[in-house]
Amino acid sequence: MTGQLDSPAVTSTPTIGVLALQGDVREHLRALEASGARAVPVRRRSELDAVDGIVLPGGESTTIEKLLKIFELFEPLRERIAGGMPAYGSCAGMILLARRVLDGTADQESLAVLDVTVRRNAFGRQVDSFEEDLEAPGLGAGRGEAPIHAVFIRAPWVEEAGPDVEVLARATTPVAAGRIVAVRQGAVLATSFHPELDSDLRVHAAFVRAVRERHTP
């Protein structure tokens, strides 16, 4: 474990994996590369061991969870993130990171490395999928800066965040105004929305920066 944590200093180009079992993997690989990382798909243990940080993409959280177990990655991934490896989850990825999941399937299990309660498919039928502009000072979208254009697709929201969790953005759409949609706890970042589906790189850039900081002495 320590060997992995103390990987050599990552200077300008960290290697960041995208969990590639299901979901919008390619979009994340592209956004990470455009943000200055070397981005690689992760499907097996040896690939997981070789990355400095990992992205859990949007998709279907129950399917990704089952595949993680089939590919024997569930426990190793949980251990690495719990041990300090930076992780970023978007949408289904946020659900996978969360400690508590509401409206999950009866046997849904998550990695439980982010101290939040998320509600799956939280926004309801009328707003199954929608887009809105978000203010998020912690992601370079504060007052006087361009807002982040966020795409939500059957998204979860964060119903409750633990004391060590920093709230980065809240929804403004009328049915969900004020609901938490972006959080950070240490090196773990999560968004309800899909920045990988937009050309705005600020969320990925923030994650690449966090990976660099984590590995640069």
Active site residues: 91, 194, 196
Least distance (Å) from ligand GLN to the CB of residue 198?
Answer: 14
Least distance (Å) from ligand GLN to the CB of residue 217?
Answer: 35
Burial of 154 (0-12, 13-18, 19+ CB in 10 A): middle
How far apart are alpha carbons 96 and 192 in whole angstroms?
A: 12
C-beta of 49 vs 131, nearer to ligand GLN? 131
Least distance (Å) from ligand GLN to the CB of residue 54?
Answer: 16
3-state secondary structure of 92: helix
Picking from 15, 88, 12, 9, the residue whose alpha carbon sits closest to that of residue 49 is 15
What is the contact surface with ligand GLN in residues (CB under 6 A)? 58-61, 91-92, 95, 120-121, 153-154
C-beta of 154 vs 209, nearer to ligand GLN? 154
3-state secondary structure of 16: strand
